[in-house]
Amino acid sequence: MSQELTILLGTAATIGFVHTILGPDHYLPFIVISKARGWNAGKTLWITALCGLGHVLGSVALGFLGIGAGIALMRLEAFESLRGDLAAWLLMAFGFTYMVWGLHRAFRNRPHSHSHTHEDGVVHAHTHTHLGPHSHVHAAPGRSVTPWVLFLIFVFGPCEPLIPILMFPAARGSVANVALVAGVFGAVTVLTMVATVMAAHYGLSRIRVRALERFGHALAGLAVLLSGGAIAFLGL
């Protein structure tokens, strides 16, 4: 293994980790949606990993296409920038829609009381909600499509440093070098996403704030909206 390839592989691992940690869109949507929808650890893990793979493979495919077709790096970067803007706005649209649905659900779930009279004449009242633990979770709108919406958004989302900093320099060696560098970058990116999300998942599973549970979906949507906004307006 040449010294140049060794440096590229180390750079790929470092950039894969740093760009994931510094980009809240890589983990925040999964953390908040998982908490709001009550996903278990297994479901949270596979959804995060699947979206991470889609995120990486989209840029890898574009990079190989560009290298194979001899497309100028500047054109690829412009296209990646366009993909990034599209992904940011899609994430914001999804977050806003989810937040509105969450608010609607929260206000429908406002606690209220009912009085009951027993045969012995005793009257008592109890407070409950109609979307509490007794409701059927699978009846929640959009539950089955939420992971796939996230997946499509992440496929559109580019890994900005991958093509110009890693794949094009590696292409001066061989196709195998390009695949190896992209593989290291992708593996570190996905593993960092999964590790961050799962750490937060286990941490949040120990926290129960009943007042926030009612607005959990709305807060999750707001977090996703802000995450998309951070990409679109702050360049994170």
Domain limits, the chain = 3-108+143-234
For residue 212, list its beta bridge partners: none
DSSP H/E element including 114: strand 112-117
d(CA 15, CA 17): 5
Residue with tokens 């990116």: 189
The pTM of the full predicted model, rounded to 2 decimals, is: 0.81
> What are the tens digits of pLDDT across the range 32-60?
999 988 899 999 999 999 999 999 999 99
Which of 19-28, 31-40, 73-82 is least confident? 73-82
Q: What tokens were used for 147?
A: 């992971």
> What are the tens digits of pLDDT across the range 137-186?
333 444 558 899 999 999 988 888 888 888 888 888 788 999 999 999 99
Which pLDDT score, from 0 to 100, does residue 233 have? 83
At residue 137, φ and ψ (nearest 5 deg) are -60, -35
What is the arithmetic mean of pLDDT over 199-222? 82
pLDDT more than 70, % of the chain: 83
d(CA 9, CA 4): 9
d(CA 144, CA 153): 16
What is the Cβ-side half-sphere exposure of residue 83, based on CA atoms within 13 angstroms? 20
What is the Cβ-side half-sphere exposure of residue 60, based on CA atoms within 13 angstroms? 20
